[in-house]
Structure formats: structure tokens, C-alpha cells
Chains A and B, each alone.
Chain A
Amino acid sequence: MIYFLASSFVLSAAILLFKNKTINFISVVMYLFTLSFFTIFSYIHIGRINSIYFKFDALSILMASMTSIISIGSFYHSFSYLKRKSTSDKQNSFYFASLIMFISAMMSAYYTQNFAVLWVSIEATTLFISILIFHTRTKSSIEATWKYLYISSIALAISFIGILFLSIIANSNGIDNLNMKTLIVASKNIDSMWLKVAFILITTGFSVKINLFPFHTVAIDAKTILASPINALMSTALVNVGFVGAFRVFTIISQTEILHWAQHILMIVGVVSILITVIQITRVKRLKRMFAFSSMEHMGLVFLGLAAGGIGYYGAIMHILFHSLIKAGLFFQLGSIRSFYKSIWIKDNGQYFRLNNWGGLALIVGVFSILAFPITGLFITEIMIFKSLLMGGYYFVSIFVLTLLSIIIFIVVRNTFHLLYGTVEKTMIHKNIKPNYGETATQFVLFGLTIYLGIAPPACFTKLIEATISVLN
């Protein structure tokens, strides 16, 4: 892990030092190679401790795999995006250097088993993503950067207080570190009040990354103006970072008698988040904002899966993985859509199917996948989550959430079909823009992968999910 982080730092430094297109390209290719190699390496050495604070466990490998796949797409789309924007070499260098460090900080957060290192890694992601939000240097991007940076800092300060309360558990058992394994053992001999306080504070703080109530607003604002290739990572890999943090604390709690209390908290957060999504999504006027709220809805469902337990655990982990692939594909497609129109508002975007038929098809497949239509991966995971809710006797919650999901489906479909077939003034459409079929192909790969993993998951994939949830209880 240390070598991976060091190589990321060296490649970022090289990009910043030379500020040259060729160096950017070579460094990015080398980084992607290192990232992929490291992910495979961690899978081969599963279960091993690495560089003191890190461990190759099933959850981290799953998350790292998703990040590696999405990162390839993100870098590929970034080159097209920067070409369209005609930004300077200096700006491009900052963009790629920050992107490399951002991905590496996320990888560090996935693999670490130490809560203090986890917090440091998550704080580092805030700094690097802030630079990327600021990249366009418009009035909106400055506003979004300020809000994200500031509220994230406050939220992470809250989570740090929670981590300090976790250290009470460690100290009372004579432990001088905040490693997961030792905390799990120690949690059995501690007054549950400290664990409850720690859980509430850490989950609240990390909600800024998970894109859930109560700190969801700044992430939504940032995603509204963020470049699509970065949005694809922020809405997926970064959301997963927050989830990993919350899941680690949940793992400790699952070994204690306060598990049911924690599950009720997760259920409240999940339902409130989906409810807020419905309230907000009825008012959205931009596609990026609509899909940002869609992430909030899906993370709410993931929390409901954890709250229900049993098969819900399995559904929750699968759901977050499939959501990552689909949402990344959709944001890549939104980048292509943006290049065809002069306006960002939904009302000014239409006739997309005529302008880019393959892109339109990718959008339809992506939207049907994210709305969990049958045969897509999310359809299977949502069935698992609702099955576990019904088996747990949460009938009212299930019906209420299903009603909310129906409203979301209606609004997303309405806005998507307006984009595909709605009439708009010709002045709103850029002339002479040609569809990029290479970009569209990457989206089909991501959507296809979720269908394949949902219908016929390979043994290694299911084993990793089973290993992830086996640590609960």
C-alpha cells in the first residue's frame, strides 16, 4: 500500500512539475496500470495485513475493484472533456494530479483497518475533490467548492469526535490503537453508551460522503456543477468511501447487544433520505442534480438493507456495487449530452435521440438500470432488500418506501423522455457536434456488467460479498 501511495505521489508530482500533455498521458496510463495491478495484488493476497495500518479484506477489494473500473472510464472521458473545454496545460496538470491523488486517498480509505488513518484518508479526499470542483473556476464552482470544503470539514470534525469516543473503548481495554480487529474484541467489554455515541457521530459525519441525511446538501450542490468524469467518481467511489467508514463501525456494533438499536437508526436515516429525495427531485431543473439526488435515494436503500439484516446485508452490498457501475455510466453519458446543448436546464434539452442515437440508447439503458427495471442488477438487489424488510415485519416502511420510489421513477422517466424526444428551440443546440461512439461504448460496458453480475454473478464475486457480510454477527 505504501508503494502504491508513493507511486501515486510521484506521478502527481511529475504531472505538476512538467505541465506537459505527453507527460500527463504517460503518467495517467502508468497510474491506471499501477491501480489495476494493486487491486489484483490485493485480491491475490486477501486477508493479509499490509503496511501496518492496511488490510486486504473482502469489502476493500470489492470497493477498490469498482473504483479501478470507473477510474479507467473517468480518465478516458477526462481527456475528451478537457479537449472540449480547451483548458490550459497548467489547469489540465492540476486536474490530473488532483484526480490521481483523489483516487489514491479513496483507495487508502478502503483498505485501512485503523479508524484514525481512515479519517485522515477521508479528509484527504475532501481536499483533492475540492480542487477538482474548483477546476472550472466559475462563480458556481467557487460557491460549490467553498460549501463542500467547509461543511465537509465540519462533518468530518463531528466524525472525529466519534472516533475519539471509540478510543475510550480502546483505552479501557488497554489497547493503544484504533484497529478494527482489536476494537471488535474490546467492544464486548464496554458500556454500550460510548459505542452508541460514537456510532451516531461517525455516521452523521460520514453522511457528507455517503450523500445521506443530514449532510447531503453540499455533495448535491457539488455534483450539480462538477465535470462529468469527476462526477462519475464522486457519485460512486467517494460515496463508497463514506459507506466503508460507516460499515466498519456497524461491524463493531453488530458484535454487541445494541445491534438492533443501530439498525433502527440506519432505518430512520434511510427513510428520511429517500423522503428528502422525493421532495427535492420534484423541484430539480438540471439533470446532474436529478441524478445526484438519485444517488441519495440508492444510498437510503442500502441503509435499509443493513437495517433489515439477513438477506438485506447481501442486497445492500450488491446494491452499492451495482449503483457504482450504473451511476458512473450515466454521468459519463451526461458529459456527452452536455456537449450537444448550450444550456444546462432540462427544459432547454431535447431531441437527443435524433442528435445521438447510440448515446440516447445508452441513456435509456442507464436510466432503466438505475430505476431498477427487471433484469437489471439493481432490480435483483432491491427485491432482496424489500424481501428482508418484509420478512423483518417492516410492512409500513416497505409500502411507504415503495410509494416514494414510484414518485422518483415517474419524475426521472419524465425528465429523461423530455431530453430524448422533447421539442426545444434549435438555437439551444450546438451545431456540428459529432457523437463520440468510443465514449458511448464505455457506458454500455458498465451497464452490461451490472446485468451480467446481477443475473449470473461469478463465484469470486459472490464469495467476496459473502466474506464481507460474514463479519456481521
Chain B
Amino acid sequence: MTYLFIILYATTLIYFSLAERVKKFDWLLAIQGVLLFGIVFFDMQKIDTLNFIFILTETILVKAITIPWFLNKIRKRNNLKRKHEVFIPVFYSVIITIIIIVGSFLISSHFHDSKLNTKYFSISFASIVFGIYFIIIHKNIFSHVVGYLIIENGIFLLSLAVGSEMPMMVNLAILLDVLMGVLVLGIFINHVGDTFKSIEITQLTDIKD
């Protein structure tokens, strides 16, 4: 079952490169949140109530509901409809994304370390690399935040790959930090939009000497 969720997660990455409308980014992020919950839930050896509540909060409440809802509000406020600002055509982006995914699985297959769960490592690596690629090919800062969130989802998967056993309090603090970071980034998108009348990164060149 975990493999099914991992494949579905990889599919969302391809959809990200295919999506023409900014609205779809929010939906894809929400779907990724649900898939992350599925991956963790079906991999759990035993269900501990406290741990279950934490994972439910992190994946469903934060990643699948709160962040996409908040980004949707920002999208509407800044009147973002079509992305229309990518540097690379969609066709090539899809091919590059497939190369990233296949490449990640090939790289992971070379690791024979018992401490590393390769099935999670491959998809997390793909997600992180794709997130960076997504940021590079987009001009507007809203898409950059989406790219950042794809990287964050990749890091979440990486924490499963390395079997990280951080205490609950620290995990909570990290989650809160990321959530706060996204909320503050979102608020600043609005400020940039209001001040510069555009959220394209090419507008932000005032400070250089």
C-alpha cells in the first residue's frame, strides 16, 4: 500500500509540471498532504495515540488543509489565474520531471545502507530536486512558495527515510516553525503585490547598487 502512495506522490510531481492554472498548485499541495498521511499511516508498526494525533495534525490539518486554504486566499487576493510565466515550456518540464524521478530511483538503488530506507529516500530526493527545479523555472513569488512547500514535503519524506526519532516536542516546534514561515511568506506576497503591483521576481531589483 505504501508503494501505491509513493507512486501517486510521484504522479503529483508530474502534474505540477503540467499544471497551467495556479489554482491547481493549491489542490496538488492538498493531495500531497493526504498522500503523506497515507504513506506514514500504512507504514506504522503500531498505532500510538499521541503519535497518530501528531501525524494527523502535521499532514492532514497543516499540509492538506491549512496551507492550501491560505495559499488559495493569497491567490485570489493577488488575482493569480494562469501561471504563464515559466521559463521552460510544459512539454520539456514534464520530460525533466520524469528524468528527476527516474534518476532519483536509480541513485537510491545504489545505496545499500541499512540505516537508509531507500523507498522513501528515492521519492524524497525526487521531491527536493523537483522543488528546486520548480522554483528556478517560475518567475512569480507565489510559485516560489509552492516550490518551497514541495521541498518541505520532500524533507518530511526524508525524515522517514532516515528513520528520524526526534522527540515529540522538537517535532512540534519544527512543524510550528514551518507553518509560521509559510504564513509570514504568504503575508509578504500580499505586501509585495500591493507595493510593486506585481509579484514577479524581476520587479524586486531595487536594493542592488
Contact = CB atoms under 8 A, between A and B. Distances in A.
B128 A161 contact: yes
Interface residues of A, number: 46
Nearest to B135: A154
B204 A143 contact: yes
A153 B141 CA distance: 13
Contacts of B196: 139, 142-143
Nearest to A289: B209
Nearest to A193: B113
Contact of B151 (A117, A149, A154, A168): A154
Contacts of A176: 165, 167
Contacts of A142: 188, 191-192, 195-196
Contacts of B148: 150, 153-154, 157
A127 B180 contact: yes
A149 B185 contact: yes
A6 B41 CA distance: 35
Q: Which 3 A-B pairs have the closest CB atoms?
A: A116-B170, A123-B177, A167-B164
Contact of B195 (A139, A172, A289): A139
Interface stretch (A11-19, A279-287, A397-405, A462-470): A279-287
A119 interface: yes
Contacts of A167: 159, 162-166
Interface in A146-188: 146-147, 149-150, 153-154, 157, 160-161, 164-165, 167-168, 170-172, 176-178
A140 B206 CA distance: 6
A177 B167 CA distance: 7
B139 to A, nearest CB: 14
6 contacts: A123-B181, A127-B181, A149-B185, A164-B162, A171-B162, A176-B167
A429 to B, nearest CB: 22
Contact of A160 (B155, B192, B195): B155
Given A142-B192, A147-B207, A168-B113, 4 more contacts: A127-B181, A140-B206, A164-B164, A224-B207
A221 interface: yes
A145 B158 CA distance: 29
Interface in A188-233: 191, 194, 221, 224-225
A150 B185 CA distance: 7
A124 interface: yes
B116 interface: yes
B53 interface: no
B174 interface: yes
A116 B167 CA distance: 10
A119 B208 CA distance: 30
B115 A172 contact: yes
Interface string B16-46: 0000000000000000000000000000000
B162 A178 contact: no
A58 to B, nearest CB: 25
A119 B174 contact: yes
Interface string B178-203: 10110011001001100110000000
Interface in A366-421: none
A153 B195 CA distance: 22
Contacts of A123: 177-178, 181
Interface string B112-151: 0101100000000000100000010000010011001001
Nearest to A346: B209
B1 interface: no
A178 B171 CA distance: 12
B173 interface: yes
